[in-house]
Amino acid sequence: MSGTWISTRAWLMMLPLLVVMVAVIGWPLVDTVRLSFTDAKLVGTEGGFVGADNYVKMLTGSNFQRALITTSWFAVVSVAAEMVLGVLAALLLNQQFRGRTALRALMILPWALPTVVNATLWRLIYNPEYGALNAALTQLGLLDSYRSWLGEPGTALVALIVADCWKNFPLVALIALAALQAVPRDITAAALVDGAGSLNRFRFVIMPYLAGPLLVALVLRTIEAFKVFDIIWVMTRGGPANSTRTLSILVYQEAFSFQRAGSGASLALIVTLLVTILAVAYAALLRKAAGAS
CATH of the domain at 96: 1.10.3720.10
Percentage of the chain beyond pLDDT 70 is: 94
> Is residue 39 a part of any domain in this protein?
no
The pLDDT tens digits for 230-249 are 999 999 999 899 999 999 99
* The predicted structure's pLDDT at residue 5: 65
Q: Does residue 1 belong to any structural domain of this protein?
A: no
Look up the pTM and report it.
0.87
pLDDT at 11 over 70: yes
Burial of 162 (0-12, 13-18, 19+ CB in 10 A): middle
Structural domain count, the chain: 1
Reduce the DSSP state of residue 24 to 3 states and report it.
Answer: helix
Number of Cβ within a 10 Å radius of residue 240: 16
Q: Which of residues 43 and 136 earns the better pLDDT score?
A: 136
pLDDT tens digit sequence for 173-192: 999 999 988 887 777 767 77
Q: In the prediction, which pLDDT does 50 show? A: 87
Residue 99: burial class (beta carbons within 10 Å; 0-12, 13-18, 19+):
exposed
Binning pLDDT at 50, 70 and 90, where does residue 289 land? low
What integer pLDDT is reported at residue 244 of this predicted model? 95
Task: Measure the CA–CA gap between 2 and 8, rounded to whole angstroms.
Answer: 10
User: Which residues span the domain enclosing 178?
Assistant: 54-292
pLDDT(12) > 60: yes
Q: Report yes or no on 34 lying in a domain.
A: no
